A and B are shown apart, each in its own frame.
Chain A
């Protein structure tokens, strides 16, 4: 299967990438391409220019810094999953990365590509929101809560490039998801994080974009056990319903998976 024609370029610096973007008519950045290329093959996207960010130097790294884990935007999921640094600092994040897509996708897909795409069923957005991460770009630093603005929508300006994400280290955290067995995307994924300033529960897959559940966060701040949230049901209003599951089913899964996430965080 062939995509529509486009002009390919592989810039050597971020500045060159942004300049190429501005020079294009309908340019798109290409990171791992594990969403963009299938979308182009299905002719649902036909950018005039593809600007390949995958070989930009200095974007693939993981390091610990004063109570935070910093991961470069070009780091692939397989490297995050296998990293001793990530496994030690935030094991839940290594687990999450190790469950994205499949083996081959994890060797090509990147953190930056995932967050910039903001698929409603992507895994990383839940981690960014629950951990209170900040996204560094070529222009500024954006709080995760201001970054994800809606379905496939972010606060990024058209040519702006994500360069790294900083994840504050929680005292406990876990991510669990109920996967669509074919696509392996989250029907519902829950990232729960216990931090010095409270608890956060972030849900992906269920709504148009990642969201928090304040009632669960308040209950877990008082009593961090699965039982504390067993009686908290969320409304199905506005949740995703499709051939794989109704909005009501997803609402039910949120409580089920949140309980499992808390149990996993306690192990």
Chain B
């Protein structure tokens, strides 16, 4: 067992956990934040993507103890007094069918738009390569992300 101290969606969390606890299990089973999904268990589907210190990561492919001291944002932490613009765009453009992949899709899309506020379709497809939609609903996902792009905006410096 190892002590863990992290920030999840702005709140400090202290816990004592088994070393082998995957971050996604810690989030889902210990904190009951079930938004990050376990889709494939082979690190391929991206349904478990959360942001760790501002970077998108597969929470099924890191141990919770590795996140000690980190700031984590899950799909539950995105909406602030109303849906996040990317969530709203997924709703508006029907960027989901069964919804299983949606948390990972949205977290990856939010990261993409932060790094590249005006991605074209090729860039969106490249960014989403690690997120698999079992309903094959990619077209509307891409449409939703394009809808929140800021035309002509340059990526932030650095």
Flag whether A18 is at the interface (Cβ < 8 A): no
**Binding site secondary structure of chain A:** loop
**B46 x A78 contact (CB < 8 A):** no
Nearest CB in chain A to that of B38: its residue:
A1
Q: Name the segment of B61-69, B73-81, B137-145 touching the other chain.
A: B61-69
Given contacts A5-B19, A37-B43, A103-B111, contact A54 B129 (CB under 8 A): no
Q: Name the segment of A60-68, A104-112, A124-132, A134-142 touching the other chain.
A: A104-112
**B46 x A102 contact (CB < 8 A):** yes
Task: Find residues 1-52 in chain A having any chain B CB closer than 8 Å to their own CB.
Answer: 1-8, 10, 30, 33-34, 37-38, 41-42, 50, 52
Given contacts A2-B20, A5-B19, A103-B111, contact A37 B62 (CB under 8 A): yes
Task: Find residues 106-158 in chain B having any chain A CB closer than 8 Å to their own CB.
Answer: 108, 111-112, 115, 127-131
**A residues less than 8 Å from B7 (CB atoms):** none
Flag whether A113 is at the interface (Cβ < 8 A): no
Nearest CB in chain A to that of B157: its residue:
A84
Nearest CB in chain A to that of B155: its residue:
A82
Nearest CB in chain B to that of A79: its residue:
B55
Nearest CB in chain A to that of B116: its residue:
A82
Task: Find residues 2-24 in chain B having any chain A CB closer than 8 Å to their own CB.
Answer: 2, 18-22
Flag whether B58 is at the interface (Cβ < 8 A): yes
Flag whether A267 is at the interface (Cβ < 8 A): no
Given contacts A78-B55, A103-B112, contact A34 B61 (CB under 8 A): yes
**B residues less than 8 Å from A101 (CB atoms):** 130
Other-chain contact of A105, B19, B22, B58, B63 (Cβ < 8 Å): B58
Flag whether A243 is at the interface (Cβ < 8 A): no
Flag whether B49 is at the interface (Cβ < 8 A): yes
Chain B nearest Cβ from A13, distance in angstroms: 18
Flag whether B34 is at the interface (Cβ < 8 A): no
**B residues less than 8 Å from A1 (CB atoms):** 22, 38, 41, 60
A6 to B46 Cα, complex, angstroms: 25
Flag whether A183 is at the interface (Cβ < 8 A): yes
Other-chain contact of B127, A34, A54, A103, A184 (Cβ < 8 Å): A103
A265 to B44 Cα, complex, angstroms: 31
**B108 x A103 contact (CB < 8 A):** yes
Given contacts A6-B20, A37-B43, A184-B129, contact A104 B63 (CB under 8 A): no
Flag whether B56 is at the interface (Cβ < 8 A): yes
**A108 x B61 contact (CB < 8 A):** yes
**A residues less than 8 Å from B43 (CB atoms):** 34, 37-38, 105
**B57 x A104 contact (CB < 8 A):** yes
Given contacts A8-B65, A108-B61, contact A103 B129 (CB under 8 A): yes
Chain B nearest Cβ from A220, distance in angstroms: 29
Nearest CB in chain B to that of A102: its residue:
B130
**A8 x B62 contact (CB < 8 A):** no
A205 to B20 Cα, complex, angstroms: 31
A33 to B57 Cα, complex, angstroms: 12
A4 to B22 Cα, complex, angstroms: 12
**B residues less than 8 Å from A182 (CB atoms):** 44
Excluding A33-B61, A104-B49, A105-B61, 19 further A-B contacts by CB distance (< 8 Å) are A2-B21, A3-B20, A5-B20, A7-B19, A8-B19, A33-B63, A37-B43, A37-B62, A42-B42, A82-B115, A102-B46, A102-B130, A103-B128, A103-B129, A104-B46, A104-B61, A105-B43, A105-B58, A182-B44
20 A-B residue pairs with Cβ-Cβ distance under 8 Å, sorted by A, are A2-B22, A2-B25, A4-B20, A5-B18, A8-B63, A10-B65, A33-B61, A37-B22, A38-B61, A41-B41, A50-B19, A78-B55, A102-B46, A103-B56, A103-B128, A104-B61, A104-B108, A105-B43, A105-B61, A108-B58
- The chain B residues found within 8 Å of chain A, CB to CB, are 2, 18-22, 25, 38, 41-44, 46, 49, 55-58, 60-63, 65-66, 68, 108, 111-112, 115, 127-131
The 4 tightest CB contacts between A and B, nearest first, are: A102-B130, A8-B19, A107-B55, A102-B129
